[in-house]
């Protein structure tokens, strides 16, 4: 079987039969989607103009026969053979996540540490057998959901302490098993991708209503393991809030928590595994809290003369108790992608409800904006989000990952970083972080471009999300990117922010995560690891040293 055909057994498709759509082994999305040659040329020209260089050269994406993989170092025992693959497409496809560094290495055709084996377990019994084999043989196991990690979370770069590595892909655990309509909850397998999950809930009139930008190519288990952040800006931001109970297979046994709407019984077992990034166990199922599908909607774009006025308005809205579903403030540089070229900041504001019209909430939020020089363009009702500046921004948001990969192939240094900070420190934080990143871009790229938007807002502070772009060369891109990324992460930590609001820690954020977490907590986490995973086979190097 293979990720190429969604886990179908090898040999199922005779050579002349049309095969199902394949995902790219090296980057974001489907093989047949993304900018065509003409669009790529246009992107090259506009990027060159934006960066003030004469031209940028496009590099062709890799094909699987160009990738040289070392021979597998381990052989699964016979009972596990039928769920294991050593197909080059699978091994290359599970070598990286989807970070800037991952895409650069793919364009450079560099795959020095592929997993030796990719396993596609059919059920929990297979997972137990795999963990037993790997524990007793000194083989590292990297749990794999959709592989959309942007922090090196699924990369089997585990050092020399292990005989080999297995990428454990949960794609076949993809069902909604049970729906409890009375409590509005469902028991769901961890390997289900976002669209398939919503398809299975739709007939019940329910939704998980958790839409990270990576929704199409990420899984429930991955969201829980990384504490992902959804599209909605307030109230239910992280997946954490929707987890009612969890089932996790650890090398030491199965942990299953009770379904409860709330509990004060000591530290929460679910909170131990939520955000554990594949280091403590394999999440196989969760009971998730659901919502009725919203039917009332209101959307507005609000323009502000400058970013600071927008920040003041968003703080007022976030502390008003209105809880908009969308409250994304785009600074003037970011607003360009929403078609706003006037140099103004734009707030994308939205309310949703399955129960009541939202006009009164919108009207009050717009009063808060008007108090801070905000000029509104209001739309109401179904489909309204697809119109106006808000709609333009949303469409570019969904298409952006395909474009990002093309930009990497054009040799640009293009990435994002995200964090959160309390309101009292935001102004100084934003100035300090922006200055550090612009200085790094100037030093390593000769200049560049930085923008900021708020992805989530809380009564006590925003979650700013920064995008940067600089001129680069593919062969030096990783060093250039590392210099900018390090400057950004150092500044974020120095100014009191978190190394990640929702992109997780993985391998890439470890140095800054270590500076952020309290030492006694780090020691406690190591003890938990020793108890649940005594041979330390699960995702070595992520959160905890091997």
Ligand X SMILES: Cc1cc2nc3c(=O)[nH]c(=O)nc-3n(C[C@H](O)[C@H](O)[C@H](O)COP(=O)(O)OP(=O)(O)OC[C@H]3O[C@@H](n4cnc5c(N)ncnc54)[C@H](O)[C@@H]3O)c2cc1C
What angle separates helix 477-494 from helix 423-445, to the nearest 10 degrees? Answer: 160
Site for ligand X in 503-542 (CB under 6 A): 503-504, 539, 542
User: Binding segment for ligand X among 17-25, 38-46, 80-88, 212-220 (CB under 6 A)?
Assistant: 212-220
Report if residue 221 touches ligand X, rule: CB under 6 A. Answer: yes
Identify the residue among 76, 222, 324, 409 touching ligand X (CB under 6 A). Answer: 222
**x-or-dash string of contact with ligand X, 127-156, rule CB under 6 A:** ---------------xxxxxxxxx--xx--
**x-or-dash string of contact with ligand X, 18-57, rule CB under 6 A:** ----------x-----------------------------
Identify the residue among 200, 219, 406, 451 touching ligand X (CB under 6 A). Answer: 219
Closest residue to bound ligand X by CB? 222
Residue whose entry in the numeric block shows the structure tokens 């199409």: 216
Identify the residue among 283, 368, 369, 492 touching ligand X (CB under 6 A). Answer: 283
Report the 10 Å Cβ neighbour count for 451. Answer: 19
Query: How would DSSP label each residue in 62-117?
Result: P-GGG---PPPS----HHHHTTEE--HHHHHHTT--SSHHHHHHHHTT--SS--SE
Residues in contact with 228: Cβ distance below 8 Å, sequence separation at least 6, in sequence order = 210, 212, 218, 222, 238, 239, 502, 504
Q: What's the CA gap between 308 and 437, in Å, rounded?
A: 19
| Per rule CB under 6 A, count of chain residues that contact ligand X | 38
User: Binding segment for ligand X among 63-71, 276-284, 337-345, 438-446 (CB under 6 A)?
Assistant: 276-284
Closest CA to 488 of 412, 435, 452: 435
Residue whose entry in the numeric block shows the structure tokens 């003409």: 38
β pairing state of 139-144 and 164-169: parallel
Closest CA to 430 of 397, 463, 399, 402: 463
Identify the residue among 90, 102, 277, 415 touching ligand X (CB under 6 A). Answer: 277
Report the 10 Å Cβ neighbour count for 62. Answer: 20
Q: How far is the CB of 306 from ligand X (least distance, A)?
A: 27
Report if residue 225 touches ligand X, rule: CB under 6 A. Answer: yes
Q: How far is the CB of 73 from ligand X (least distance, A)?
A: 20
User: Binding segment for ligand X among 10-18, 117-125, 209-217, 384-392 (CB under 6 A)?
Assistant: 209-217
Query: How would DSSP label each residue in 361-393?
Result: HHHHHHHHHHTTT-EEEEEESTTGGGSHHHHHH
- Degrees, nearest 5: CA angle 223-34-100: 55
* Tokens read off for 140: 């590292």
Report if residue 226 touches ligand X, rule: CB under 6 A. Answer: yes
Between 83 and 362, CB nearer to ligand X: 83
* Tokens read off for 119: 């396993």
Q: How far is the CB of 123 from ligand X (least distance, A)?
A: 14
User: Binding segment for ligand X among 181-189, 218-226, 250-258, 289-297 (CB under 6 A)?
Assistant: 218-226
Between 223 and 426, CB nearer to ligand X: 223
User: Binding segment for ligand X among 195-203, 210-218, 299-307, 359-367 (CB under 6 A)?
Assistant: 210-218
Report if residue 250 touches ligand X, rule: CB under 6 A. Answer: no
What's the distance, CA 299 to chain centroid? 25
Q: Residue 118 forms beta bridges with which residues? A: 85, 167
Say whether 413 sits in a helix, a strand or coil. strand
CA distances from 410 to 55, 476, 484, 514 (A): 10, 13, 18, 34
Q: How far is the CB of 414 from ligand X (least distance, A)?
A: 12
Identify the residue among 282, 317, 327, 478 touching ligand X (CB under 6 A). Answer: 282
User: Binding segment for ligand X among 75-83, 198-206, 215-223, 389-397 (CB under 6 A)?
Assistant: 215-223
Identify the residue among 401, 409, 462, 541 touching ligand X (CB under 6 A). Answer: 401
* Tokens read off for 278: 């594949």
Identify the residue among 44, 62, 212, 374 touching ligand X (CB under 6 A). Answer: 212
Q: How far is the CB of 114 from ligand X (least distance, A)?
A: 15
Between 201 and 313, CB nearer to ligand X: 201
Query: How would DSSP label each residue in 460-525?
Result: TEEEEEEEEEE---GGGHHHHHHHHHHHHHHHHHHTT--S-SSS--TTTTHHHHHHHS-HHHHHHH
Residues in contact with 21: Cβ distance below 8 Å, sequence separation at least 6, in sequence order = 30, 31, 32
Identify the residue among 223, 232, 287, 423 touching ligand X (CB under 6 A). Answer: 223
For residue 48, count CB atoms less than 10 angstroms from its CB and return exposed for 0-12, middle for 13-18, buried for 19 or more.
Answer: middle
Under a CB-based contact definition with an 8 Å cutoff, are residues 393 and 340 in contact? no
Q: How far is the CB of 370 from ligand X (least distance, A)?
A: 30
Report if residue 187 touches ligand X, rule: CB under 6 A. Answer: no
Identify the residue among 165, 214, 250, 406 touching ligand X (CB under 6 A). Answer: 214
Report if residue 487 touches ligand X, rule: CB under 6 A. Answer: no
Report if residue 478 touches ligand X, rule: CB under 6 A. Answer: no
Between 44 and 153, CB nearer to ligand X: 153
E-only strand ranges, 290-338: 291-292, 296-304, 326-330
Report if residue 95 touches ligand X, rule: CB under 6 A. Answer: no
User: Binding segment for ligand X among 73-81, 207-215, 314-322, 381-389 (CB under 6 A)?
Assistant: 207-215
List interacting residues with ligand X (CB under 6 A). Answer: 28, 97-98, 142-150, 153-154, 170, 190, 212-214, 218-219, 221-223, 225-226, 228-229, 277-278, 282-283, 401, 502-504, 539, 542
């Amino acid at each position: 079987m293979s990720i190429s055909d969604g886990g179908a057994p090898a040999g199922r498709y005779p050579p002349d039969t049309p095969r199902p759509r394949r995902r790219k082994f090296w980057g974001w999305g489907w093989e047949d989607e993304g900018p065509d040659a003409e669009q790529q040329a246009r992107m090259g020209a506009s990027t060159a103009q934006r960066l003030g260089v004469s031209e940028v050269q496009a590099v062709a994406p890799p094909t699987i026969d160009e990738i040289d993989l070392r021979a597998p170092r381990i052989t699964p025992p016979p009972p596990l053979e039928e769920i294991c693959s050593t197909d080059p497409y699978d091994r290359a496809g599970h070598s990286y996540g989807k970070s800037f560094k991952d895409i650069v290495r793919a364009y450079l055709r560099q795959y020095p540490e592929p997993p030796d084996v990719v396993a596609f377990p059919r059920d929990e019994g297979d997972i137990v057998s795999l963990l037993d084999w790997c524990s007793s043989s000194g083989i590292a196991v990297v749990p794999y959901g959709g592989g959309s990690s942007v922090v090196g979370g699924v990369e089997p770069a585990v050092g020399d302490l292990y005989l080999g590595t297995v990428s454990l892909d949960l794609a076949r655990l993809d069902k909604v098993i049970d729906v409890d309509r009375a409590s509005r909850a469902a028991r769901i397998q961890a390997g289900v991708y976002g669209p398939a999950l919503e398809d299975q809930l739709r007939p019940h009139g329910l939704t998980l209503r958790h839409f990270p930008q990576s929704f199409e190519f990420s899984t429930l288990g991955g969201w829980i393991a990384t504490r992902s952040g959804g599209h909605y800006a307030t109230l239910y931001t992280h997946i954490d809030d929707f987890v009612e109970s969890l089932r996790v297979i650890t090398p030491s046994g199965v942990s299953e928590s009770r379904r409860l709407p709330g509990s004060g019984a000591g530290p929460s077992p679910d909170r131990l595994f939520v955000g554990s990034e594949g280091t403590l166990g394999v999440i196989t199922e969760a009971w998730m809290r659901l919502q009725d599908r919203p039917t009332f909607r209101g959307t507005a774009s609000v323009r502000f003369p400058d970013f600071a006025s927008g920040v003041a308005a968003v703080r007022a809205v976030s502390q008003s108790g209105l809880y908009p579903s969308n409250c994304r403030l785009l600074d003037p540089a970011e607003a360009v992608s929403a078609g706003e070229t006037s140099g103004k900041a734009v707030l994308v504001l939205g309310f949703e409800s399955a129960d009541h019209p939202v006009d009164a909430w919108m009207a009050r939020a717009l009063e808060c904006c008007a108090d801070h020089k905000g000029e509104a363009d209001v739309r109401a009702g179904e489909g309204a989000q697809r119109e106006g500046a808000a709609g333009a921004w949303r469409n570019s948001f969904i298409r952006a990952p395909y474009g990002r990969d093309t930009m990497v192939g054009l040799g640009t240094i293009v990435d994002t970083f995200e964090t959160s900070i309390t309101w009292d420190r935001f102004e100084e934080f934003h100035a300090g972080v922006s200055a550090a990143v612009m200085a790094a871009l100037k030093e390593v790229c000769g200049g560049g471009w930085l923008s900021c938007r708020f992805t989530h807002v809380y009564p006590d502070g925003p979650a700013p999300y920064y995008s940067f772009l600089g001129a680069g060369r593919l062969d030096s891109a990783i060093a250039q990117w590392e210099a900018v990324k390090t400057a950004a992460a150092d500044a974020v930590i120095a100014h009191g922010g978190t190394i990640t609001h929702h992109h997780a820690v993985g391998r890439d954020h470890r140095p800054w995560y270590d500076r952020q977490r309290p030492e006694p907590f780090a020691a406690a986490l190591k003890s938990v690891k020793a108890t649940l995973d005594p041979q330390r086979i699960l995702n070595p190097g992520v959160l905890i040293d091997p």
